[in-house]
Amino acid sequence: MIGIILGTRPEIIKMSPVIRECERRGLDYFILHTGQHYSPEMDRVFFEELELPDPDYNLDVGPGTHASQTAKIMTGVEDVLMKESPEIVLVQGDTNTAMAGALAASKLHVRVGHIEAGLRSFNRQMPEEINRVLIDHISDYLFAPTENARKNLISEGIEGSKICTTGNTIVDAVYQNLEISKRKVNVLKDLDLKPREYFLVTAHRQENVDNRGRLKEILKGLESVQKEFSMPVVFPVHPRTEKRIKELGIGVNGLNLTKPFGFLEFLQLESQARLVLTDSGGVQEETCILGVPCATMRYDTERPETLDVGSNILVGADSTSILAGVRAAATRESGWMNPYGDGIAGKMIVMVCAAARSR
């Protein structure tokens, strides 16, 4: 049996090709949803939207400090793993869900497979970086998305026999879910937008939105972009970001603030944008795959491949540098090579897991 542990919407998206492949093969598996960010009710719609089976378990952990959230997840995961006794557990990325799930499984001597292993920003101030390193060093199977990621793991002394370079499941997910979106939504029509004539924004990272000065500079930079290019700046506001804007009393002018979109709608918006501004690692990958320029509002990234191929530029969190970066990036052609694989990562991961179950 394979246990799939997830807890955030990006994890659901990147696990969707793995889940579909388990379904296709008729494998014995279960989905455990920790509810790290959202309620089961909200995420049930998300599973339906992506045409995925409902989770078998929902922990409904919710938000909290890193320590309290991790402890709740570990306790809940341990109970499920003791009941189900899987041969291998899969976690994805760098969230508290992934770290707590991997740690709980490891302590029960259940083999751990880490999807998206080996990513490094080399910035230990980011809680995600701590999670990445810990998960990689307790995992039995490390599914590296790129050669750079594999090299990071080797340099940290991880045995090469544990590493499998698969490409990134986000490629599979983008291709599969974009097809679903064409059948279900038409968000550009709903928002009266024209292809390549708007900017799209996401911002949610702790280091950006919890600092008043930094958040104020980001919003000022976005307002400057809107004024200079005279195009809509569509900003689906993450609940964390919305809360901080209100708490810190920051005014917002000239931006099209919206509620968060479902993934299918967001994917459509990404695919047709002139440029995307973000602090999300996943969005850096998605835009690279979709051929849309990206400006990342951070000073480092664990996705250096996007910089190498020219799909992405780091613009920091200063209003002047954000505008300058957008000026440079908005005129880029989209002929770069996709460094994240050919869309079969999910199949490769499940194939390795299926072989591991028989050992």
Q: Strand pairing of 111-115 and 294-296?
A: unpaired
Q: Which two tokens stand for residue 92?
A: 């994805």
Q: Which two tokens stand for residue 194?
A: 């024209």
How far apart are the C-alpha atoms of 144 and 151, rounded to whole Å? 9
Q: 24-28 contacts: CB < 8 A, separation 24 or more?
A: 25/350, 25/354, 27/2, 27/350, 27/354, 28/1, 28/2
Selection from 23, 163, 144 nearest residue 92 by Cα: 144
Sheet holding 88-92, edge to edge: 57-58, 29-33, 2-6, 88-92, 111-115, 141-144, 163-165
CB 99 within 8 A of CB 70: yes
Residue among 33, 37, 204, 238 flagged as catalytic: 204
Q: Which two tokens stand for residue 154?
A: 């080797």
CA angle at 260 for the pair 258 and 266, rounded to the nearest 5° = 100
204 is catalytic: yes
Sign of the torsion angle spanned by Cα atoms 119, 170, 286, 212: negative
Q: Which residue has the tokens 């009266």?
A: 192
CB 238 within 8 A of CB 279: no
Q: Which residue has the tokens 């920790």?
A: 34
Three-state SS for 205? Answer: coil
Burial of 82 (0-12, 13-18, 19+ CB in 10 A): exposed
At position 14, the amino acid (one-letter code) is K
Residues labelled as active-site residues: 204
